Structures are given as C-alpha cells and as structure tokens.
Structure 1
C-alpha cells in the first residue's frame, strides 16, 4: 500500500486535486462559473442603479423620460388597434392596407432602420436592391388602384351595390319569393 498511498498523496495531497484541475482545463467549474456570473450581474445592477440614483431636477427631464417610454407601448397598442379595426370594419381596414401597399420598399427599410436603431439593433441596405424595389412598387400602382375601386364597390352604401347586372339567374332569384313557414302559419291563423 505504500506505492498506492504515495500516488494518491501526489494526486490529492497538499490540498490539491489533480483530477479536478485537469478536468477544469476542458470544462468550466459550474460553481465557480455561477459565482462569476452572479458577481457580473451584481456589478451591472449597481451600475444601472447608479444611473437612476440622481433625482431628476426639472420638468424637462421628467418630460423626456416619459417621452422615451412611449414608443414601445405605442407600437404594441397600435398593432392591436389594427387587429381590432380589421374585425370591426374590414372594408375600411382593406382600403388602408391597399394604401400601405403603395409605400415603397426603401421607405419600409428606412422605418425598419429607425425602429432597429431605437431598439438597439443595426440594419443595412444595398443600393441595387433599393432601386429594384422602387421600380417594383411603381409597377404595382395600377393593381392597387383597381383593388381600392373594387373594395369601394363592396360598400353597402355605394350606388347600385345590389344590382344584379346581366345575370338572369340572379335576377330571377331576387324576385322569386321564398317560402316562409312562419308567415304562412300566421296568415292561416288570422
């Protein structure tokens, strides 16, 4: 047992663990990693806390703080408002979306860049794609105008909305009375 004792003494003696030290070369010690992560998070939180430790003095500072908090809720509430308007008045919503279809792609990119920079991201655009998308948007203009006209014709308050046109079957169906069992029973009872 003397040789084995010496080997274990060499590996684990003197407050050392050669196996653990060797494994930690290839894999992080989870406990030490958690301690470092907690320390880094604590430092970040104290840095953020120091930023707000100074009380805002004037009305302008309070106004700007409030203004900086508006875009995220405005985007979220505006998006939900679009969904509600699509359910409440689909024709009104469709007309507006046809107008949005005319917005050139580069303008969408610009909006994306502004929103991306506001939320901390970066966005790049290429000049050749920019020109190609402008041309594509211009070619969609006649179709969009035709779609808007078709949507306006669907409104119930538009003139001749219920006109049957040249469809003889539809005209006949409109003037042929339907059977109404409840009405016939009421007529017999009277």
Structure 2
C-alpha cells in the first residue's frame, strides 16, 4: 500500500509501478521506492493481481495451440517450449537495492509470478504434445541479485540508469542457458 502523507490519506496508485514512478516524476536517475529504502514491504494493489490473472487466462490454450500447429506443420520436428530462468530471489535479501530496487513484498510477488508462468508453460507444452525445457533450475544462484562475477541475469539498474539488457541473460547467462537448452534437446527422442 502507498505511504500515508501528513494528512493520513494513502496514495495506492503508484505502488508496484516502477516505470510510471520513474517516468512520471522525470527523474534522471532511478531512485528506489521510499518503502524499499526503509526496508518495508509494499503490497501489490489488487488490480495488479487481477491484471496478472487476466494475462495468464489469455495465455491458457494459446501456447498449446502453437505447439500443436508446429507439430502439425513439421511432423518430424522436435517441438519444445522453453521456460524462463530464475530472474530474482523470492525475498530480495541478497539484492543490492541500487541495482534491483523493489520493496520486499515485490520480490515475492514477481518471483511467484515467474514460477507460475513456468508452470503454465510446462502445462501448455504437455497439452500441446511438446516437450518442456527448464531453464529455471540451471539459473538458481545466478539471478540478478547474485554477486556480479556470478550472475547470469542483468540487474535492472547500472551506472545510475536502466541497465542495458535489464532482466535478461548476460553473456555467461546466454552461454549457460543455451547449453542447458542444447543438452535438453539432445536428450529428446526425434
């Protein structure tokens, strides 16, 4: 929930809207949410949960349909859906807040959403007759909050601005995740 100003009224509109907060306030450099700086949790507004649920509902059946179509058009192909790597930890305790500036509650919400998305991709692969390739397990311990020399996922903020390839694999991550996908495909029957 938003913080209560001196008058006691909370403003819940900005909670969880990182891009809107940064852009709307015209900041040259990103500043963490005040609650994150204080180590407090910012709850996700209910409308954001509903939006995520609606997005998941839209995906249901669509990925399976894509897998079925791919198998139909290329009957000799190995069809696989690839899940997402672990982007960030569930609690954020290991995160450098200047690089990954979320409030504590945001980590759990975002991590849970990613796990839920991978579960959906896996279910859709099974429904569509495709294989599921897990890139989450090979990335555990290498998320954007891992030490700089160990991480496979770029943090959100670097040098005071949005990091290039923010929340995407860096070069070691591309190589490691690519190897995981290649190894998984090699094990599949054709």
Alignment TM-score, normalising by the size of structure 2: 0.24
Task: Kindly name which structure, 1 or 2, has the bigger radius of gyration based on alpha carbons.
Answer: 1
The structure with the greater share of residues assigned to strand is: 2
Q: Which has the higher contact order (CA 8 A, sep 6+)?
A: 2
Alignment TM-score, normalising by the size of structure 1: 0.24
The structure with the greater share of residues assigned to helix is: 1
